[in-house]
Amino acid sequence: CHLIHYLRLSHHLIVLNYLICTFDKLKSVSSEDIKITDAVFDGVEVRVFEPPAEGDESLRRGVVYIHGGGWALASARTSLYNNLCRIMAESLNAVVVSVEYRLVPEVCFPEQYHDALRATKHFLQPDVLAEYSVDPSRIAISGDSAGGNLAAAVCQQLSKDEDLTVRPKLQALIYPVLQAFDFNTPSYQQNMNMPVLPRYVMVSYWIDYLNGDYGLAHELLVNNHTALNVGRALSFHARLNWTSLLPASFKKSSAIVERLPALLDVRAVPLLADDATLARQPRTYVLTCENDVLRDDGAMYARRLERAGVPVTLDHFHDCFHGCMIFTMWPTDFSAGVKTRDSYIKWLDENL
């Protein structure tokens, strides 16, 4: 893939995603248990999973699910996400809407966010919920990894929309990526070379998502785009603040935020939201894994939500890794995937 990119035949992410989806993408195949249809919600493709109607015609729960893949890979139609959403629909007796947002490099931020927001707002319309027999008071927004980022950003925006008549009851974030402010948190340091998602790969995803230059990767890795650490060093900040003390010729990296202003845009970086916005968020579930550079992103978001008065469940798995929840099918049917998936669905069942 990188050779093809180097030869300028195509972008490596296009090639990689083509390979993933060519061998893995599934057509919408319904069964007696779950009806699967592909639809378009306000211009955004979605895949809808519907359990059979109950005899008493009672309303069902609803889940909007946003898949991961670094804003660049995977699909709502691949077998891994197809399987997850099917199991969610069966286990919860819920209508699950899996969002097929556009990917990097076709589009960059904020288009993925806009796609997720448009599809979610369309589903939340009373007439659409009635069409799918969904209870307006029992809807969750969820996603994993980059999808968790989009789910959190969408929830924050929905909480500010005064015209909405239906709002999500819950948000459930699976090892979400929530900040690009510090790539040297303890989990980034501990797991910088961990398979599935090494630190340099996560930084590359951010650069692609924000349509940046790969030449910025090193500066981001060493946190040259942020100010000094806080905490005990705060009182010494003015004495060591290189942004004001060094000559301009030394500050080659100080313009990174100017070159990538989205690094401080809460639609891309939900962890930077203000306390007032966080206080409006629904009851939240955050799943984190010990062997994951994004562990601390989720833990910090959970803590900030708690401080803002939001009921939060932080579900941490000490022996699991990033992305494990979708690996529940042969030949990657890992116990870590089944364990995290079952815990996630159990929480949704008890709270939705």
Catalytic positions are: 145, 292, 322
* CB atoms closer than 10 angstroms to residue 302: 21
Task: Please tell me the distance from the alpha carbon of residue 254 to that of residue 252, in angstroms, as a whole number.
Answer: 6
Nearest of 67, 280, 63 to residue 158 by alpha carbon: 280
User: Quick one: CA torsion of 227, 228, 234, 238, rounded to 10 degrees?
Assistant: -80
Nearest of 282, 293, 269, 348 to residue 315 by alpha carbon: 348
